[in-house]
């Protein structure tokens, strides 16, 4: 996942290049901001931004308009991005609430800025000659157009009202999901099948019941291992209904607003409006892509579901005919098949992937591949569990050389914290000003050890973090992950392979000599077990992407009714009364009309792996990838980057081989 917060960076500690490689720039001071300070600084911040905008409007000639934008972006991002982290991860409820209130207050500024016809005219008149300047000018012009600067004044006002409300709706939607604190009391008999570690980690009530919460360390293993189907139904249903029904109203309102927005610009619907700014280009291109995915996975999904049905029948001791699969059976049965057929028990494997060692593992991989070094530093953090690392260029012998950026790790669940795993921006880098980028990983891992799937999640989010941290873009708005939305998952999806293949997995022994390494046979079995679910996994991804596209095509419709109909047409059907769209944060935080981007990105990710020719630890290819894909960030069109790296046009062959198990 990628965070959907405004791009930007911290101006307060723009690094002095003379210090690079010797000492860290002071890390962003946001960690010490409490609720009161946020509220006070928020008003000052808005004032200062408006003053900067007025200053930009005073000039008529283009002059240094790109540099001025960069300075403004460093200023706004430097305040907003840390605030986004606090809103999602601050331990105190008051701080999270103050951060949200402040972000809501600052929302209108972005539209004010990009509706300024005076500054728009300056950017229009600018003659850029360097490719990075041309790309930044183009990006700014797109932002001006999307904010309505090229429209008539009354339409401009309409766009501003719509954008402001959309931004607020997005923030509220995510808050409602973060704030879910449902826990389900289950008797010891109802948690039969769960391992001792999982039981110990749960809170128990006065009657001795286990309180099962909906965060991943609690929910994931429960759905895979709880023997009691009724209990699984209860927990699964609660999970489907997170933030429901209140978020459905926010989502439906957003759909109406997005449709209105598209119409102001003369587009038929939001999908057409939004996709013109993405690699795919049009709803038709996405539709074609999804159709090819559907036809590729259909049969694989059917085969896998039939296997699950047989498993359920044998478990019940009955004939398979007439046995019906329920949605809350899937993870459980899949887990059983993984254990019985492929001899894989993800829970058992936690002992072989201690969480700390797993973090050192992914850092070690990145060090080898990209020629960098991570150096732990004591800095102020928003919670004692958070750790900070400087990222340096590695000198021969592995010693730390020049400072490149920084990375915060906030890995374990806390009450009120963002409930998935994501890479958040803390500040963007800008080569123009010498500011280093900083990212934060906010995740919810088991503190003792990871399953292979969780190791992949860690490596995936690290892929996003490195895309940000290794950025060498000239302008902050082009920094690292600030790329086209359907390209943003490419580095993270590609990096996942390093968590699955034998050669990189052997590196684990370097960071944890005492850990029992996976045998070659175990790695093969794990891979087979993962492939076993591919049909169901991609069929589900197809459904999410098609649902998202349907919501944003044609006239606005009810999200829930559309979901009921579309999920109802799937093989497992819809369970009446469940309301998944209420917690579908993606389409309220940047992936709207863009969910297909995960699979679209995977096409490119798997294709680019071919450049390694099977040697995933080849530092020469790693460094070329760093230079040609990661460092440019959004300063060049993604198509161009990929073609340069591959030396040819991309091909979907590797992706289709992966999803149909033909690899």
Q: Which residues bind Zn ion (CB under 5 A)?
A: 1, 489, 492
Residue 33 or 488: the one with the smaller Cβ distance to Zn ion is 488
Q: Please, what is the minimum distance in Å from the beta carbon of residue 630 to Zn ion?
A: 15
Measured between alpha carbons, how far is residue 468 from residues 168, 353, 430, 437 in Å? 26, 26, 11, 7
Q: 3-state DSSP call for residue 212?
A: strand
Question: How far, in Å, CA of 371 to CA of 611, rounded?
Answer: 18
Q: Which backbone phi and psi does 158 adopt, to 5 degrees?
A: -65, -45
Q: Please, what is the minimum distance in Å from the beta carbon of residue 609 to Zn ion?
A: 17
Q: Please, what is the minimum distance in Å from the beta carbon of residue 133 to Zn ion?
A: 30
Residue 70 or 358: the one with the smaller Cβ distance to Zn ion is 358
Residue 146 or 489: the one with the smaller Cβ distance to Zn ion is 489
Residue 489 or 567: the one with the smaller Cβ distance to Zn ion is 489
Q: Which residues touch 286 (CB under 8 Å, ≥6 apart)?
A: 271, 275, 280, 545, 549, 596, 600
Residue 1 or 539: the one with the smaller Cβ distance to Zn ion is 1
Residue 1 or 605: the one with the smaller Cβ distance to Zn ion is 1
Q: Please, what is the minimum distance in Å from the beta carbon of residue 276 to Zn ion?
A: 23
- Nearest Cα to Cα of residue 25 among 470, 392, 424: 392
Q: 3-state DSSP call for residue 410?
A: strand
CA 157 to chain centre: 32
Q: Which backbone phi and psi does 501 adopt, to 5 degrees?
A: -90, 150
Q: Please, what is the minimum distance in Å from the beta carbon of residue 278 to Zn ion?
A: 16
Residue 492 or 553: the one with the smaller Cβ distance to Zn ion is 492
Residue 228 or 497: the one with the smaller Cβ distance to Zn ion is 497
| 641's tokens | 């980057």
Q: How many residues are given for the chain? A: 663
Q: Strand pairing partners for 2?
A: 423
Question: How far, in Å, CA of 493 to CA of 509, rounded?
Answer: 24
- Residue 252, CB-side half-sphere exposure with 13 Å CA sphere: 14
Q: Please, what is the minimum distance in Å from the beta carbon of residue 386 to Zn ion?
A: 21
Residue showing the smallest CB distance to Zn ion in the complex: 492
Q: Please, what is the minimum distance in Å from the beta carbon of residue 460 to Zn ion?
A: 6
| Backbone region of residue 343 per phi and psi (left: phi > 0; alpha: psi in -120 to 50; beta: other values) | left
Residue 224 or 489: the one with the smaller Cβ distance to Zn ion is 489
- Nearest Cα to Cα of residue 432 among 71, 93, 160: 71
Q: Please, what is the minimum distance in Å from the beta carbon of residue 125 to Zn ion?
A: 38
Residue 173 or 487: the one with the smaller Cβ distance to Zn ion is 487
Sign of the CA dihedral running 65, 68, 73, 76: negative
Contact 53, 112 (CB under 8 A): yes
Q: Please, what is the minimum distance in Å from the beta carbon of residue 485 to Zn ion?
A: 12
Q: Which residues touch 589 (CB under 8 Å, ≥6 apart)?
A: 3, 4, 170, 173, 174
Helix axes 653-660, 534-551, angle to 10 degrees: 120
The residue written with tokens 């090819």 in the block is 292
Residue 172 or 420: the one with the smaller Cβ distance to Zn ion is 420
Q: Please, what is the minimum distance in Å from the beta carbon of residue 1 to Zn ion?
A: 5
CA Rg, the chain, in Å?
A: 25
- Nearest Cα to Cα of residue 198 among 223, 217, 224: 217
Q: Please, what is the minimum distance in Å from the beta carbon of residue 293 to Zn ion?
A: 18
Residue 240 or 492: the one with the smaller Cβ distance to Zn ion is 492
Q: Strand pairing partners for 394?
A: 400
Q: Which backbone phi and psi does 403 adopt, to 5 degrees?
A: -70, 135
Q: Please, what is the minimum distance in Å from the beta carbon of residue 421 to Zn ion?
A: 8
- Nearest Cα to Cα of residue 335 among 535, 532, 540: 532
């Amino acid at each position: 996942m990628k965070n959907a917060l405004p791009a930007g960076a911290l101006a307060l500690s723009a690094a002095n290049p003379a210090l690079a490689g010797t000492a860290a720039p002071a890390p962003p001071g946001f960690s010490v901001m409490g609720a009161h300070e946020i509220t006070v600084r928020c008003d000052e911040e808005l004032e200062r931004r408006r003053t900067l905008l007025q200053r930009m409007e005073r000039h008529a000639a283009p002059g240094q308009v790109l540099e001025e934008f960069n300075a403004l972006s460093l200023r706004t991002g430097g305040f907003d991005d840390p605030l986004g982290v606090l809103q999602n991860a601050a331990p105190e409820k008051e701080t999270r609430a103050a951060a949200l209130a402040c972000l809501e207050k600052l929302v209108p500024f972005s539209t004010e800025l990009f509706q300024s016809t005076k500054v728009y005219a300056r950017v229009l008149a600018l003659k850029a000659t360097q490719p990075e300047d041309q790309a930044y000018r183009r990006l700014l012009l797109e932002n001006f157009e999307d904010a309505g600067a090229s429209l008539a004044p009354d339409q401009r006002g309409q766009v501003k009202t719509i954008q402001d409300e959309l931004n607020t709706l997005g923030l509220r939607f995510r808050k409602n999901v973060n704030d879910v604190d449902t826990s389900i009391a289950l008797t010891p008999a109802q948690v039969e099948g769960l391992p001792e570690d999982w039981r110990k980690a749960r809170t128990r009530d006065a009657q001795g019941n286990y309180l099962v919460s909906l965060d991943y360390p609690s929910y994931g293993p429960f759905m895979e291992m709880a023997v009691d189907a009724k209990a699984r139904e209860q927990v699964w249903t609660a999970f489907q209904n997170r933030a429901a029904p209140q978020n459905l109203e926010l989502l439906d309102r957003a759909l109406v607003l997005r449709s209105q927005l598209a119409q102001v610009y003369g587009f038929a619907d939001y999908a057409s409006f939004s996709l013109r700014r993405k690699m795919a280009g049009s709803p038709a291109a996405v539709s074609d892509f999804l159709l090819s995915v559907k036809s590729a996975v259909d049969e694989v999904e059917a085969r896998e579901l039939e296997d699950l049905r047989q498993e359920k029948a044998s478990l019940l001791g009955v004939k398979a005919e007439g046995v019906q699969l329920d949605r809350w059976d899937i993870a459980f049965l899949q887990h059983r098949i993984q254990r019985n057929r492929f001899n894989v028990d993800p829970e058992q494997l936690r002992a072989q992937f201690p969480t700390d060692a797993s973090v050192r593992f992914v850092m070690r991989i990145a060090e080898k591949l990209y020629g960098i070094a991570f150096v732990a530093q004591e800095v102020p953090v928003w919670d004692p569990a958070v750790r900070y690392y400087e990222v340096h260029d590695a000198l021969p012998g592995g010693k730390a050389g020049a400072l490149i950026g920084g990375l915060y790790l906030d890995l374990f669940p806390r009450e009120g914290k963002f409930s998935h795993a994501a890479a958040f921006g803390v500040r963007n880098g800008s080569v123009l000003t010498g500011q280093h980028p900083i990212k934060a990983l906010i995740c919810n891992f088991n503190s003792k050890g990871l399953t292979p799937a969780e190791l992949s999640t860690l490596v995936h989010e690290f892929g996003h973090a490195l895309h940000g941290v290794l950025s060498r873009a000239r302008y902050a708005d082009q920094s690292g992950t600030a790329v086209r939305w359907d390209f943003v998952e490419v580095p993270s999806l590609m990096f996942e392979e390093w968590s699955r293949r034998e050669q990189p997995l052997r590196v684990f022994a370097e960071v944890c000599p005492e850990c029992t390494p996976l045998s070659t046979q175990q790695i093969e079995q794990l891979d087979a077990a993962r492939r076993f679910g591919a049909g169901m996994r991609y069929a589900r991804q197809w459904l999410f992407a098609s649902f998202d596209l349907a919501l944003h095509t044609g006239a606005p419709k009810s999200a829930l009714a559309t979901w009921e109909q579309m999920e109802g047409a799937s093989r497992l059907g819809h369970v009446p009364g469940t309301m998944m769209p209420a917690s579908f944060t993606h389409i309220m935080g940047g992936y709207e009309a863009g969910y297909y981007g995960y699979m679209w990105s995977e096409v490119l990710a798997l294709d680019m792996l071919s450049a390694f020719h099977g040697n995933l630890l080849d530092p020469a290819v790693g460094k070329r990838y760093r230079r040609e894909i990661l460092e440019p960030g959004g300063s060049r069109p993604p198509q161009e980057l990929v073609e340069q790296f591959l030396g040819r046009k991309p091909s979907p062959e590797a992706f289709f081989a992966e999803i149909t198990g033909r690899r």
